[in-house]
Structures are given as C-alpha cells and as structure tokens.
Amino acid sequence: KKDTGMLSYKEHLPVSQVVVGDVDRPGSEAKVSVGPVRCQGDRNYWNAASFVTSSSYLHFSTFQGETSADISFYFKTSASDGVFLENLGNTDFIKLELKSATEVSFSFDVGNGPVEIVVRSPNQLNDDQWHRVNAERNVKQASLQVDQLPLEVRKAPTEGHTRLELYSQLYVGAAGGQRGFLGCIRSLRMNGVTLDLEERAKVTPGVKPGCSGHCTSYGMYCANGGKCVEKYNGYSCDCSKTAYDGPFCIKDVGAFFEEGMWLRYNFHSPGTSMKDLVSRTLLSSADPEITAPDLSLNKEELSFSFSTTKSPCVLLYISSYTQDFMAVLVKPSGNLQIRYSLGGTKEPYNIDIDHRNMANGQPHTVNITRNGRDIVLQLDHYPPTSYSLPATSDIQFNSPKALFLGKVIEIGKIDQDIYKYNTPGFTGCLSRVQFNQIAPLKAALRPTNASSQVHIQGELVESNCGASPLTIPPMSAATDPWHLDSASADFPYNGEAIADGVNRNSAIIGGVIAVVIFTILCTLVFLIRYMFRHKGTYHTNEAKGAESAESADAAIMNNDPNFTETIDESKKEWLI
C-alpha cells in the first residue's frame, strides 16, 4: 500500500512526526520520503524595507480611509519601541506603534477625541522574529490583533463624527518628533493595496530595500555566542549567555584562586523548582530531546581555560542529587583527566591525557562536548579527539546539583581519587568557565540574575592570568616550507646551485658588501669636504694704530717706541 499527499499550507509545517500503524506483522516495513519544499505566492508578501536610523522613514500619498481602514503588516526588530506608521489631519490622525517590548498600540481620532487600543503580549516582541499586526476601523468598531493573540475590540460611539479626515503624507517608519522604528517592515497593505516599500527605499536615505540591518552586516563580530542587538545608531553584542565580556564578547572573565579557595554554583536556587532550572539554565531552548520533568541531561558542553604549577588538583566538579558526577582533574604527574560517572558501570569512565604536562604554568584551553555516548575533547589548538562511553554506561546525567571550581565541598560520598586530589586544593587561574548556558565565574564577578546562586569561600580576585593567548594552529606538512619531508615545498637553497646557476646566499653576501663599501665611500667624501672647508683663510697680527699711520713702518714705530730699525744692507730691496 502506498499513500501520497501534499502539504499545501505553511501552517502545517514543520513536520515533526510521522506515525505508521500496522507494522507488527512479520516481514512488514515502512518507508517515508519527503519531497522538496516549493514556495509560491504573492511577490509582495516579501516586499520589505529596513529602517537603520531613528530618523529614517518612507512617505507615501495620504491614506484614504475616511470611513474604513484595514491595515496589516509584518515587523521584525530588536528595539523596544518605535512608530510603525502615522498619518495626520488638522486634528484627526491614525497611528500604529510599538509602545514597549511587549505592547503594540493602534490609536486614532476622528473628531470625537483620541482612541487607543493596546495589545499586550506575554512574550517579547523585540526578539528579532517576524510578528504580524492587523488593525481595522469602521464606523461601528475598531480592532487590533498581534500574531495569534486575542483580538482587542473597541466599539465606536453611537453619536459623533465617523469620518477620518487626513491631509498630510503617510509616514512609514517614523513620525514628526517621535522615535522612529528600527528594524524591518514587510507586506504593508492598506485597504487592500500593497505599498511598494522596496522601490521607495531605493531612493530614501537611511532606509534599505529588503530586510537588513546593522546585525546583518556586522553581527559576525559578536563572538563566542554573543547575540547581536540592533540599536538606533548601530548595534551591540549581548554577552549575557556567554562566559565573556566586552563590546564584542571577546574579553575573558577569569579569576585567581589561592590555595584552599573554592566556588560553588548551585543549579537549584532558592525559590526555583528543578523543573524551571532544567528548562531555563542547563538545557538549550533548541534541545527537543530533553524535557524538564526528566531532570537529566543527555548532552552538555563544557569549556574553560586554566593555568597552574601545582598538582594534583580538582579543576572542576559537577555533582548531582544521585551518584552521577563529572570531573576535570590534574593528576600528580601533571596530566589531565576527565572523569564521567553516569551509572551502569562499577568504576567511573576516565579519559587520560598523558602526552603532556598541563601543570607547567602556561594557559591551557579545555573544550568538552558530550552527546549521548559520544564525547569530543579538544585541548588548546590540537585537533579534537573522540571518545565513547562504555556500552553499559547510562547516557543521562541525572539531577545535576552544583558546579564546583577549585575544590569540592559536597555532602555525601565522593570518589576516592577526587577526595585525595581535593587537598589542599587548586592554586592558579581559571577563566571563561561555561557549562551549557551557565557561566559561574562571570556570575560571581558580574552582577547577574544568577549571582544569588554563587557561594565563594575566600577572596575571589578577577584576573586574566588563565586566559589563553591567541594561538595559530600548526601548518600542515604539505604547506610548511620548513618541513623537511614536504614534497611540495620549494627551498631557496639546500647546498646546491639553483636553476639559474647563481648561488643566492653568495648574492646576498655580495649585496651586503656593496652596501658597506658604498657607506665607507660616502663617509670619506664627507670628511674630505670638512677638512678643506677653511682653505684660503689666514690670520694677521696687525699693529694697533695702523689705520692712522702713514706707512707700515710708521705703524710699527708708533706702536712700539723702543723699536729700532736695523736694516741690513744686503737685505734691502731695490725696485728696478
């Protein structure tokens, strides 16, 4: 028997389950195949515009809705408020706006005084997801609906004005003197007419055709799981669900632990049920495999960095209300060990990293991911390594209780090795510790909603000494030019002449010698010019009073009265 069919309505998607009956008979089997999804419909359904500044808007001709108005559109935003559209008259007006993160308002005045209808949502409407707004007004009543929330209706007065008289242009995305809308609007229909937002946005500053924003262009800069949030003049990164801080969620949040100091993060805070705990903190909202009543984890993600010079010690320990636990240890040899005990086995399952000493005072990064029985471990920049829990081991971490850093202070039975490693405790630095959605160090060092769940013994001093420096993965042998076994590497010189017969090392040496000789010559030229710069000058010791004397001899005689001229006859000069 073969059954086929086609899903024609998007409300029927997604298909999450297919149930096939009558398959218990011997030899029976069932096969399910799903064909491709084909989209068709009105092109205007995705006619959209993005408003990227608080003052940006689109304007259209006056809305003709004297006796009836039917307005519908979709919006998507991360902002908490903003005006969707507005059209004014002398006193009449009509306006739709996002009043707060959970409220949409439809207000108008036909001459009888302002009327406002507000729909309040139990969930945030600024979650960067599409939401539908449908507003209607006629001479009898007005209504407003958001998504599938209950319809809000307001009856019109039995007497008074009924015609909406508007004169200004229709403004979409902003209104005079009010905060404009920041985000996307699409499929805007007014009395059955779809406004071409994309075409108008092409010639309007501050508005872009299609649905885009700052986060579309720059959202990738929010690192380490940070969420991009649209702002009126840009964007910001929400780091609240990460173990990082800073504008782009790249600043490690870490601390220095003195000997004997420890931190405990209680998963079960006072006044919070375990059901709420599992659904809100330990489990991802996108995890359909685990439900809150199970009080267990089928998967977890753990990441942190540390540095220490002392071993053995307990880096991290996760306890439970049962005998289940998870631990990351540094053994007496300085090697790292990851220990899982989920039940079903006599001894905990250990992963020993024996190839290197981790207690060398250098920062080291640890990333552990478990999904069912499969475990993936990555240390520093080395390739990830896969492991598997024993076949007899349980795959559920039952009833997690608390997370410890530095030392385990827990009531009840503790594994013997962990008990031995627990004294005197961890000394060193821990940074960016994150277990699923929990960042215990950040909760202790930054005021968050989870700060009440943290208990600290000792003085916790913030420090980035455990932060791992930026490391570059090693090059492969095929691309590393200094790898001796690389077949594709071209070495500049290996003791032989290269193809053109010129030894490059000799050429380099010759070039250096030429530069030295040229420098020496320039120095000599400079010295020679300096030595002969005074050539042709002389110094005289003229007798004083030479200016007023009749002759040089008279000047000497005037200067020295005792001078007696004795002229040897043989030394006389004759002028012929």
Burial of 76 (0-12, 13-18, 19+ CB in 10 A): buried
Instruction: With beta carbons less than 8 A apart as the criterion, state whether 438 and 450 touch.
Output: yes
Q: Per-residue pLDDT tens for 247-287?
A: 899 888 999 999 889 999 998 754 444 444 444 444 443 44
Give the dihedral sign, CA 217/223/229/231.
negative
Look at residue 176 in the predicted model and tell me its pLDDT: 67
Strand partners for 317: 327, 404
Contacts with 254 (C-beta within 8 Å, 6 or more apart), sequence order? 305, 429, 430, 431, 432, 441, 462, 463, 464, 465, 466, 467
Residues 108, 105: Cα–Cα separation, whole Å:
10
Residues 449, 438: Cα–Cα separation, whole Å:
11
Instruction: With beta carbons less than 8 A apart as the criterion, state whether 324 and 375 touch.
Output: no
Count CB-CB contacts under 10 A for residue 356: 13
Q: Per-residue pLDDT tens for 356-399?
A: 889 999 999 999 999 999 999 999 888 999 999 999 999 989 88
- What is the CATH topology of the domain spanning 43-209? Jelly Rolls (2.60.120)
The CATH code of the domain at 213-248 is 2.10.25.10
Q: Per-residue pLDDT tens for 50-98?
A: 888 878 899 999 998 888 999 999 999 888 899 999 998 888 899 999 9
Listed by start position, the domains of the chain span 43-209, 213-248, 253-269+295-462
Query: Looking at beta carbons, which pairs linking 27-30 to residues 24 or more positions away fall under 8 Å?
Result: none
Look at residue 116 in the predicted model and tell me its pLDDT: 93
Q: Which two tokens stand for residue 18?
A: 């297919």
pTM of the model: 0.54
Q: Classify residue 362 by its DSSP letter.
A: S
Count CB-CB contacts under 10 A for residue 495: 7
Look at residue 221 in the predicted model and tell me its pLDDT: 86
Q: Which two tokens stand for residue 510?
A: 């010759």
195 φ/ψ angles, rounded to the nearest 5 degrees:
-80, 135
Look at residue 496 in the predicted model and tell me its pLDDT: 39
Count CB-CB contacts under 10 A for residue 285: 8
CATH architecture of 253-269+295-462: Sandwich (2.60)
Q: Tell me how far the alpha carbon of residue 545 is from its chain's centroid.
A: 92
User: Residues of the chain whose pLDDT is less than 50?
Assistant: 270-294, 470-475, 479-502, 563-576
Instruction: With beta carbons less than 8 A apart as the criterion, state whether 264 and 111 touch.
Output: no
Residues 103, 150: Cα–Cα separation, whole Å:
13
Count CB-CB contacts under 10 A for residue 198: 19
Strand partners for 457: 262
Residues 564, 545: Cα–Cα separation, whole Å:
18
Burial of 179 (0-12, 13-18, 19+ CB in 10 A): middle
Residue type, 253: V
3-state secondary structure 275-318: HHHHHHHHCCCCCCCCCHHHCEECEEEEEEEEEECCCCEEEEEE
Q: Per-residue pLDDT tens for 422-444?
A: 888 899 999 999 998 889 999 99
Look at residue 283 in the predicted model and tell me its pLDDT: 45
Q: Tell me how far the alpha carbon of residue 546 is from its chain's centroid.
A: 92
Instruction: With beta carbons less than 8 A apart as the criterion, state whether 23 and 13 touch.
Output: no
308 φ/ψ angles, rounded to the nearest 5 degrees:
-160, 160
